[in-house]
Amino acid sequence: MSSEIASAYQQLKETSQSRWTDLIQGDKPVIMVGTATCGRAAGALDVLESIRKTLGDDHQDIPVLEVGCIGHCYAEPLVIIAKPGGEYPPLLYGYVTPEIAQLLVRDYVFGEDPSLEFLLGAMETNELLPSMNDLPRSTYEHYIILENCGRIDPDNIDHYIATGGYGALAKSLQMQPENVVEEIKKSGLRGRGGAGFSTGAKWQICRDSESDYKYIICNADEGDPGAFMDRAILESDPHSLIEGIVIAAYAAGTQEGYVYIRAEYPLAVQRVTKAIEQARQSNLLGDNIVGSNFSFDISVFQGSGAFVCGEETALIASIEGRAGMPHHRPPFPAVNGLHGKPTIINNVKTLASVPRIIDRGADWFSGIGLNATKGTTVFALAGKITNTGLTEVPMGTTLRDVIFEIGGGIPEGRQFKAVQIGGPSGGCLPESALDLPIDFDSLRDAGAMMGSGGMVILNEDDCMVDVARYFLEFTQNESCGKCTVCRLGTKQMLNMLDDITKGEAKLEDLVTLEQLAHDIKAGSLCNLGKTAPNPVLTTLRYFRDEYEAHIHDKHCPARRCYNLMAYYILPEKCQRSCDACVGTCTVEAIYQGKTGIKVIDQDKCVKCNTCVEACPPQYNAITRISPLSELPEAMPPMEKK
Amino acid sequence: MSSITLTIDNKKVTAPEGQSILWAALDNDIYIPNLCAIRERTDPAASCRLCFVEVEGKPMPVTACTEPITEGMVVNTKGTESQSLARTALELLLASHPVDCGHCAANNSCELQKAAKHLGVKLNTKRYRKLLKELPIDDSSPIFIYDPNKCVLCGKCVWKCHELGIGAIGFAYRGFDRMVTSFAGQPIGQSNCNQCMECVSICPVGALVAKENT
Ligand SMILES: Cc1cc2nc3c(=O)[nH]c(=O)nc-3n(C[C@H](O)[C@H](O)[C@H](O)COP(=O)(O)O)c2cc1C
Ligand code: FES
Q: Are the CB atoms for A33 and A66 separated by under 8 Å?
A: yes
Inter-chain residue contact A481 with B177, CB threshold 8 Å:
yes
Q: Which of B34, B36, B47 to mutate to test the interface with A (most CBs of A within 10 A)?
A: B47
Domain with residue A586: its CATH number is 3.30.70.20
Indicate if A330 and A348 belong to the same structural domain.
yes
Kindly state whether A458 is in contact with chain B, defined as any CB-CB distance less than 8 angstroms.
no
The CATH number of whichever domain residue A206 belongs to comes to: 3.40.50.11540
Q: Are the CB atoms for A459 and A467 separated by under 8 Å?
A: no
- Identify the nearest ligand to the CA of B67 by its number: 2
Same domain (yes/no): A36, A121:
yes
- Is B178 within 8 Å of chain A by CB? yes
Q: Does residue B81 surpass a pLDDT of 60?
A: yes
Mean pLDDT of B91-100: 97
**Contact check, Cβ <8 Å, A519/B85:** yes
* Residues in A touching B37 (Cβ below 8 Å): none
Q: pLDDT tens-digit profile of A59-71?
A: 888 999 999 988 8
Q: What's the complex ipTM? A: 0.96
Domain termination residue (choose one: A503, A527, A552): A552
CB contact under 8 A, A488 and B131: yes
| Domain coverage including residue A290 | 165-363
What average pLDDT does this structure show over A543-550?
A: 97
pLDDT on residue B1: 67
Q: What pLDDT does residue A640 have?
A: 65
- Which residues does a 6 A CB cutoff place in the pocket of ligand 1? A 191-195, 197, 219, 221-223, 307-308, 310-312, 345-347, 350, 452, 526-528
Domain ranges of chain B: 1-132, 133-214
Of the two residues B1 and A411, the one the predictor is more confident about is A411
The CATH number assigned to the domain holding A104 equals 3.40.30.10
pLDDT band at B205, cuts 50/70/90? very high
Is residue B74 within 8 Å of residue B7, measured between CB atoms? yes
Helix (H, G, I), strand (E, B) or coil at A523: helix
| pLDDT tens sequence across A11-44 | 999 999 999 888 876 778 999 999 998 899 999 9
Is residue A192 in a domain?
Answer: yes
Condensed to tens digits (0 to 9), the pLDDT of residues B12-56 reads 999 999 999 999 999 999 999 999 999 999 899 999 999 999 999
**Residue A381 domain flag:** yes
Confidence at B214, pLDDT banded by 50, 70, 90: confident
Query: Do residue A453 and residue A476 come from a single domain?
Result: no
Which bin fits A196, alpha (ψ -120 to 50), beta or left (φ > 0)?
Answer: left
Q: Residue B171 burial (CB < 10 Å; 0-12/13-18/19+)? A: middle
- Whether residue A181 sits in one domain with residue A48: no
What does the pLDDT average to over A463-485? 95
| Amino acid making up residue A376 | T
Top-confidence residue, A381 or A195:
A381
Q: Smallest Cα–Cα separation from B77: which of B116, B40, B31?
A: B31
3-state secondary structure of A444: helix
The answer to whether position A559 is within a domain reads no
**Do residues A261 and A356 both lie within one domain?**
yes
CA B48 to ligand 2 center in whole angstroms: 5
Q: Are A590 and A598 in contact (CB under 8 A)?
A: yes
Give the nearest ligand 1 atom to A224 CA: 8
DSSP H or E run through A393: strand A389-394
CA distances A97 to A70, A81, A116, A232, B186, Å, are: 17, 15, 15, 22, 56
Return the pLDDT at A507: 94
* CATH tag for B133-214 (out of 3.30.70.20, 3.10.20.90, 3.30.930.10, 3.40.50.300): 3.30.70.20
Taking the CA of residue A192 as centre, how many other CA atoms within 13 Å lie in the half-sphere pointing to its CB? 27
The rounded mean pLDDT for chain A is 93
Mean pLDDT, residues A193-214 taken together: 95
Q: Relative to the CA of A223, which ligand 1 atom is closest? A: 8
Instruction: Kindly state whether residue A557 falls inside one of the protein's structural domains.
Output: no
Q: Are A546 and A577 within one domain?
A: no
Q: What is the pLDDT of residues A491-544, one digit of tens each?
A: 999 999 999 999 999 999 999 999 999 999 999 999 999 999 999 999 999 999
Closest residue of chain A to B45, computed from CA coordinates:
A327
d(CA A2, CA B49): 54
Instruction: Examine the domain organization and report whether A331 and A394 are in the same domain.
Output: no
How many domains is chain A partitioned into structurally? Answer: 5
Q: How far apart are CA A599 and CA B156, in angstroms?
A: 62
Task: Give residue ranges with CB within 6 A of ligand 2.
Answer: B 34-37, 46-51, 63, 65
Q: Which uninterrupted H or E stretch holds A315?
A: helix A312-319
Within this chain, do residues A357 and A449 fall inside the same structural domain, yes or no?
A: no
Query: What pLDDT band is residue A187 in, cutting at 50, 70 and 90?
Result: very high
Query: In this structure, are residues A391 and A142 in contact, taking their beta carbons and an 8 Å threshold?
Result: no
Q: Is A133 helix (H, G, I), strand (E, B) or coil?
A: helix
The reply to whether residue B49 touches residue A479, judged by beta carbons under 8 angstroms, is no
- Domain B1-132 listed as CATH 3.10.20.740: yes
- If asked whether residues A192 and A245 sit together in one domain, one would say yes
pLDDT in tens, A155-167: 999 999 999 999 9
Write the DSSP string, chain B.
--EEEEEETTEEEEEETT-BHHHHHHHTT-----SS--TT-SS----S---EEEETT-SS-EETTT-B--TT-EEETT-HHHHHHHHHHHHHHHHTS---GGG-TTTTT-HHHHHHHHHT--TT--SS------PPPB--SSSEEE-TTT-----HHHHHHHHTT---EEEES-GGG-EEEEGGG--GGGTT-----HHHHH-SSSSEEEGGG-
Contact A519 B84 (CB under 8 A): yes
For residue A212, the model assigns a pLDDT of 95
Tell me the C-alpha distance between B15 and A305, whole Å: 44
Q: What's the start-to-end Cα distance of chain A, in Å?
A: 102
Question: Looking at the structure, do residues A469 and A457 belong to the same domain, yes or no?
Answer: no
Specify the pLDDT at position A641.
57
> Would residue A318 count as lying in a domain?
yes
Contact B47 A483 (CB under 8 A): yes
Q: Clarify whether residues A214 and A322 are in a common domain.
A: yes
Question: Three-state SS for A372?
Answer: coil
Which phi and psi angles does A53 have, rounded to 5°?
-65, -45
The residue of chain A with its CA nearest to that of B47 is A483
Q: For residue A312, what is the enclosing H or E element?
A: helix A312-319
A462, A492, A512: which is the final residue of a domain? Answer: A462
What burial class does residue A129 get, using C-beta atoms within 10 Å of its C-beta: 0-12 exposed, 13-18 middle, 19+ buried?
Answer: middle
Cα B76 from Cα B88, distance rounded (Å): 18
CATH number (domain holding residue A522): 1.20.1440.230
Q: pTM, whole model, 2 decimals?
A: 0.92
CATH of residue A402's domain is 3.10.20.600
Residues A273-302: tens digit of each pLDDT: 999 999 999 999 999 999 999 999 999 999
Q: Which amino acid residue places its CA nearest to atom 23 of ligand 1?
A: A346
Q: Please state, in angstroms and rounded to a whole number, the distance separating the CA atoms of residues A303 and A317.
A: 11
Q: Hey, is the C-beta of A495 within 8 angstroms of any chain B C-beta?
A: yes
Structural domain contains residue A261: yes
Indicate if A442 and A469 belong to the same structural domain. no
Choosing from A412, A429, A462, the residue where a domain stops is: A462
Which of A477, A522, A525 faces B47 most closely, judged by CB atoms?
A525
- pLDDT at residue A452, rounded to an integer: 79
